[in-house]
Structure formats: structure tokens, C-alpha cells
Chains A and B, each alone.
Chain A
Amino acid sequence: MSKTLIIAEHDGSNLNPSTAKCASCAAAIGQDFDILVMGSSVNAIAEQAAAIDGAAGVTVVDAENLANPLAVNHAAEVVALAESYSHILGPSTTYGRDLMPRIAALLGVNQVSDISTVEGSHHFTRPIYAGNAIVDVHAPENVTVVATVRVASWKAAGNSGSAAIETRSASAPASANTRYVGLEAGGGERPDLQSAPRVVSAGRAMASEENFEMVYELADLIGAGVGASRAAVDAGYCPNDMQVGQTGKIIAPDLYIAFGISGAIQHITGIKDAGTIVAVNKDADAPIFEVADIGLVADLFTVIPEMKQLLS
């Protein structure tokens, strides 16, 4: 009975990198794990899941009503499988954060949110207060552990495995009172923020949507994803899916370059796990310099064009 189930995340065509990160967390828990892929016509995604190192098996639940990531429908399928597992893990992405507490409530357990480290099969650490405190959490051993995995804390597992794939039909009818309408994708073709090895980010100091263009150009030059502070998103300079921080995306790229971001606690919490943090800001007293590995006190409108020139 001591087995872990990972809820795979995907966009209908590709497995999200968060799934392989959950696999690393599952491996740290130290028991066999299966991966559950829910969706409609998801054979290719199931193949990707089956390749994740360490996966014992992949279960596919294929149904039209699972094509869209509605928590109500997905939770019902997970609950139907829950009996065979001691641990159920999902990513701390918006998909997982929407879905997992619903599963926990239906199973009558509390959820461990944002696992950063595994100290034992029921002992984890997680950040609270925007990462300003870390707590050691112990989940009760006599009930199912339902948890989200803080994806920024885990490296993706490799993909040389070949787990067996088993397909099941859906257990529950589609919910009639929740209807999916559509998705307006924001980011475009740039590398995904949550898995990009490099991220270039800018704040309100950019002063306009047009000025953000130079950030995109610099990012494209070094193959980086583009992030933003809450202030820049609120001001309408860039779409919401670029927001980095406590309430946006928590990321851990190898390189994070922040232009004109002062470094509010809520932003810092989103980048704390980055390999190298570079800060460029006119204000020498900006709190971002306290966490920066390399700081440059200068005007971003001078620095960005110069960097573009030196790097092209």
C-alpha cells in the first residue's frame, strides 16, 4: 500500500516539466511511484510520462471531459484511484494548487503545500510567510498524504525510463455546473518561466509596454524567459503570466537578471532559489541588492542596450 501517485500536468500536447520535478520529490520519499495522466487523446503525453526515470507505471484516464483542466472533474478521477496509494503528489503550479486541496478535502485530510525538502516519508519542510520562515511539517501516518511539490525546489528527473502504460475509463461523470470557456495564452513562444535556465525580468521602471520590447530582445539574445514584477503587470506593461513572486510564479533559473526591480519581499520569495541573481537598479539602496550575487547601480535604459551590443 506504500506507493506514491503523481498527478501529471500537461497542455494537451506536452507534459509539463513540473511532472518530472514531482518525480524527484517522489523518489526522495523513497517508495515506488506511478504517474496519472488525465485528458483526452493523451497517448503521446503518457509516453513522455512513462520515460520519467523511476516511474513504476503510468495510468491514463482518457475521457473527453478531462481534456480541460477543471479541478472538479480531475479530482473525482484521482479520488477513485486514491485507495491504492499512501501519498498523492501534484505540482505547486496553478493547476496543482487548484486541484490538490479538492482531493485532500474529499479524502478528509489536510494538505501539505509546497514541499521543499523530504526529511522522511511523512516529514517535509515547506516555506511560509513568503519564504521568510521554513517549517518542518509532519503529516499523520494513518491517512493519505496529499501534497503539492514546490517545483522550484526540485530538479527534473531524467527521461530514460520505460514504465508500462495502463489505460482506464473515467469513473465519474463530467460536472454539469462548471464549464470551461477558453484560455488566452499570454507569454508566446519564449522559454517557459518555470523551467527556463535563464530569466530576464523587469519592473515598473520600464515605464511602458513599448519599453518592455528591449527586455524581450535581450532575453531572445541569450535564450531567456521573461518575467516581471507585480508592479509592471499591474501597470499593464506585460501579461499576468509573467509575474514572479509570492503570488505569481516561484522560479529557480540558473541566471536571473532583474532590471529596475526594487525587490519587495513578495518578489524576492519568487527568485530565492535562483543560481545567480543579477540586479540592475538606479537606486543603490534598493533591497534587491541584498540578495543579488552581482549588482550594478545604473540606469537600465543605458545598460540594456549596452548588454545587447556586447552579447550579440
Chain B
Amino acid sequence: MKILVGIKRVIDYNVRIRVKSDASGVETDGVKMSINPFDEIALEEALRIREAGLAEEVIVVSLGGNECQQQLRTGLAMGADRAIQVDTAEDLQPLTIARTFLKVIEKEQPGLVLLGKQAIDGDNSQTAQMLAALWDRPQATFVSQMNMSGESVTVVREVDAGLETIEVDLPAVISVDLRLNEPRFVKLPDIMKAKRKPLEVIALDELGVAPENNLEVSKYSPPPVRAKGILVEDTAQLVTELKTRGLV
């Protein structure tokens, strides 16, 4: 079985996001870029499944310009067998991303697709669900536990009401949550080895996918700032303050 893992290049989660003064986007100059943390967890899970002997090959896929090869190389250094970059200069929206993944799936015929539950830039949380719908295969989102058993997989999903268990037949699309695993650290020799692993580049046009029904973003604004608060000296003052404001 092959496992396909989606990897998105995003601003590192530790970077403080700043909206550009002309409202055209967020500041990316000189900003550290990383693999979307949820995608890293997806890749880690794929590697563990392969290491358990339940899959033969792990393929990492990213959509973007040449700069996303950096994240694909990190994925290869973590242990993926090969990488595919779908080359595009456009900032693609989830529907187009899902359609593009479907084209890659038709070519590679994976038994499992693992994606992050959301990207920490757009916070959309859409691609996995859209892909499952277009592929007409089961979806399991926000997954924090996975057990492969032959032709199906039992997953635990983190939902608002608690932990939900469902069983899906393979092939399936699974979007992963934070507590599924802790991704491994990349070792220096693996970074060297990753340079020799295959990285295929396919132009988006070659796949016959064109963006459609795009949402248009007209303006980026910084979030509203909360008014400066007060400091109290002790618990008694705190409780008095809460009572005065009618909060307790």
C-alpha cells in the first residue's frame, strides 16, 4: 500500500503574524517558514504505519512554487520515500487543492491519504473533507488515534462532545489532530540522504486543474485590540472586582 501525505508550507507557528500596512496580506519577508504542524503529524503517522510493515511507500505532496521543495525535503529527511511538487505560482483555495490531490491520487493509487486537520495560516479545515467527497471515499477528520486492520481502519476523532470512534474502509482520507503522535526530529545524516531521494515536479496545468469559484479576499486587517486591563493585589480584591462588575 502507498500512503499519500499532504504538506503545506506555512509561516512557522512561533512567528508573530503582522498584517501589512497596505492591507494586502501578512508580512512574509524574512519570516521563518515550516511544514504545517498538523501535516508533520500526518507524515509521522504514515512513517509509523510503514515501519509497522502495513505500507510500502510514503509519498509527500505539496502544491506551490519551488520554495515548497524546502518543506518536501524536510519530509524526505523525516523518512518519506519520495516527493511530488505540483508547481503553481497561484495561492490555491481548498477546492482546487482537493481537485489537484485527486489527480495525483488517480496517478498514484494510494490506499490511504493523510492530511493535517487544518493549515495554521488559512485555518480553513476543508481540504480533507473536500477530497474525500470528490474521490467518493470515506473521510475521518480530527483523528487522534488510528488502528489499521486489513481493509479498514478504526479511528478515534476529537469532537466537541468527547472522543468519537468510527470505522472506515480503505482507501480513505484521514485528517489528523494534535494528539495522534509526536513527530520525530530530523537527524543531520537524514538531511544529507534526503537530497538524493526523488522529487518529481508536475505543472498544475499538466494535471488539467484550473481554479474555479474562488473566494476573493479584498482586505486584511489586524484584529481588534482589547482595552488595557488592571492588576489587582490579592484574591480578596479580585473577588470584589468580579462582584462589582456583576460577573459572579
Check if A136 sits within 8 Å of B217, measured CB to CB.
Answer: yes
Interface size on B, residues (CB 8 A): 82
Say yes or no: is A205 at the interface (Cβ < 8 Å to chain B). Answer: no
Q: Which residues of B contact A286 (CB under 8 A)?
A: none
**Given the interface contacts A71-B139, A98-B141, A295-B231, does A105 sit within 8 Å of B134 by beta carbon?**
yes
Chain B residues proximal to chain A, CB less than 8 Å = 11, 13, 16-17, 19, 26, 93-95, 98, 117-118, 120-134, 137-142, 144, 154, 157-169, 172, 177-179, 212-223, 226-227, 229-239, 241-242, 245, 247-248
Knowing that A95-B160, A178-B168 are A-B contacts, what are 4 other residue pairs whose CB atoms are under 8 Å apart, sorted by A's residue number?
A132-B17, A134-B223, A137-B215, A277-B226
- In order of increasing CB-CB distance, the 5 nearest A-B pairs are A105-B130, A101-B129, A101-B126, A132-B17, A306-B235
- How distant is A15 from chain B, measured CB to nearest CB, in Å? 14
Which chain A residue lies CB-closest to B169? A177
Check if A72 sits within 8 Å of B138, measured CB to CB.
Answer: yes
Q: Which residues of B contact A104 (CB under 8 A)?
A: 95, 126, 130
Interface size on A, residues (CB 8 A): 90
Q: Which residues of B contact A254 (CB under 8 A)?
A: 247
Say which residue of B94, B139, B162 sits within 8 Å of A186 (CB atoms).
B162
Binds B, one of A21-29, A48-56, A164-172, A234-242: A234-242
Binds B, one of A32-40, A111-119, A155-163, A208-216: A111-119
Check if B166 sits within 8 Å of A181, measured CB to CB.
Answer: yes
- How distant is B208 from chain A, measured CB to nearest CB, in Å? 16
Check if B234 sits within 8 Å of A298, measured CB to CB.
Answer: yes
Say which residue of A184, A247, A289 sits within 8 Å of B162 (CB atoms).
A184
Which chain A residue lies CB-closest to B19? A133
Alpha-carbon separation in the docked complex, A127 to B122 (Å)? 8
Alpha-carbon separation in the docked complex, A289 to B232 (Å)? 12
Check if A128 sits within 8 Å of B122, measured CB to CB.
Answer: yes
**Given the interface contacts A105-B133, A184-B162, does A94 sit within 8 Å of B142 by beta carbon?**
yes
Alpha-carbon separation in the docked complex, A294 to B229 (Å)? 6
Q: Which residues of B contact A234 (CB under 8 A)?
A: 178-179
Check if B159 sits within 8 Å of A95, measured CB to CB.
Answer: yes
Check if A292 sits within 8 Å of B229, measured CB to CB.
Answer: yes
Q: Which residues of A contact B121 (CB under 8 A)?
A: 128-129
Alpha-carbon separation in the docked complex, A186 to B130 (Å)? 29
